[in-house]
Amino acid sequence: MAYSEKVIDHYNNPRNVGTLNKDSKFVGTGLVGAPECGDVMRLQIEVGEDNVITDAKFKTFGCGSAIASSSLATEWLKGKTIDEALSIDNMDIVEELALPPVKIHCSVLAEDAIKSAINDYRVKNGLEAIVLEKSHH
């Protein structure tokens, strides 16, 4: 299967690889997927004033599409408010990266990682976790 140019670009030059301090109360961490399934994403956000995401980092175990999906997600997250971030839909990622149907689950995982990171941040700061409206699994 051939990868799209955008997947290859994110794969070869992944944006925002790294680790934020998961113990900081300004940082939310989402760890989704499972090694048995062949992909695990860890996505972290750092939230500043006015609920704006000031930094985002990721590390991913998975195929090229999974790496590209999470790399793209960190790029999109920076500068967005939490509410804006929550509106990112996996199909936006599918469209941007031109993922084929067999790789849609990679984008789903990235959306889950974003929501999971936001929830981690919310819970740390005394807010309720948001119930995820749709389950893809």
The answer to whether 99 contacts another protein (rule: CB under 8 A) is no
Among 62, 72, 94, 111, binds another protein (CB under 8 A): 62
One-letter identity of residue 92: D
CB of 2 to another protein, least distance (A): 11
Backbone phi and psi for residue 21, each to the nearest 5 degrees, phi listed first: -70, 105
Active site includes 63? no
CB of 81 to another protein, least distance (A): 26
Q: Closer CB to another protein, residue 14 or residue 47? A: 14
- Rounded Cα distance between 78 and 132, Å, is 21
Q: Closer CB to another protein, residue 85 or residue 110? A: 110
Q: Which residues bind another protein (CB under 8 A)?
A: 3, 11, 14, 17, 19, 31-42, 59-67, 101-105, 108-109, 112, 136-137
